[in-house]
Chains A and B, each alone.
Chain A
Amino acid sequence: MANDVAILGRSTHVRGRVTGAASVEIAGRVDGEVDVSGDVTVEAGGLVSANVTGRRLVIRGAIKGDLNGSESIALEDGAKVVGDVRAPRIAIAQGALLRGYVQTANGGSAPRAKATTASRGAVPPPRASTPKHVEHKREVEKPKAAAPAHKAKAPPPPVVPALKKGAKGARRVGAIAGMSKKR
């Protein structure tokens, strides 16, 4: 039926999140998070102003945000990245420019089936549009988050929308409570 890939051409500008169970090629500009379970390629001239998460990341463009690869990340010649770079395997070419923390996680590919039920229970019900995908990602991300070296660092990206959702929900509840008080 369709290509399981999104191609954002040179003149294409996305303001918002790009998510899904497919691969993405970015030659244009994305002002928002990119979080897919497929591969992400940011071409020369491509710009992303937020975190990028995917399986294999190949960067030739400019990124202001953290890069998370469940398999690998390659910063190629011409890449400009301000942000942290994390993947089991990382390649940085001569000519790639980087400001940020780099962490290869060896063994990160080994015990990926160990997603704890506890952490999954804490997660709000996934959105109707991407249920499978969200859960799967969490499993992939788990071993990395469990490594003690990461403890102090930011939690894996999938948690972020969960927090936001929670915050929004809390606010809504507060607003309703406030209204009922007035009455």
Chain B
Amino acid sequence: MASHSRTSARGNSGGGGARIGSGAKIRGRVSGSGDLTVDGSIEGEVSVRGNLVVNESGSVKGDAVDADSITVAGTLEADGQVTGQLRVLVGSRVRCNVKGGIALDEGAEFSGRIDADFDLPPELEGGGHSGRRGRN
């Protein structure tokens, strides 16, 4: 298929991190440490030790996405797991399964499973079925 490119995002200097410009398209895996801002598009896996920001014009589509925090104003579609604190802003379109916390603005389009780790109050635990739901 398409040639795989690698982008390393290194957050060292003042501005720090990497930016995928609005005209840029990346197919492949993007990894590194530092913040990553996406105005263009990425198809593939994203794994950064830092904050991932997908702006209005940006889109990330593909497999797993892993970052310390993920803020989406554009498009995020992931077939794999999304790991990190996800913030979905109004006007964005997000389809993914999230391991961890999510903040969703009213007006954003979202579909997917959220899997936060917490316990229900004891009154609601136990009983008929366990806290984790059987059906998909």
Contacts and interface: CB of A to CB of B under 8 A. Distances in A.
Binding partners A and B: yes
Given A62-B120, A72-B106, A99 B132 contact: yes
A149 B111 CA distance: 10
Interface stretch (A88-96, A119-127, A165-173): A88-96
A91 B116 CA distance: 16
Given A90-B104, A97-B116, A104 B110 contact: yes
Given A99-B116, A99-B132, A47 B107 contact: no
Contacts of B108: 104
Given A93-B103, A149-B111, A100 B120 contact: no
B121 A82 contact: no
A72 B87 CA distance: 19
Nearest to B135: A154
Contacts of B6: none
B102 interface: yes
Contacts of A62: 120-121, 124
B127 A49 contact: yes
12 contacts: A63-B124, A64-B131, A82-B120, A90-B106, A92-B104, A94-B103, A97-B101, A99-B115, A99-B116, A102-B111, A104-B109, A106-B109
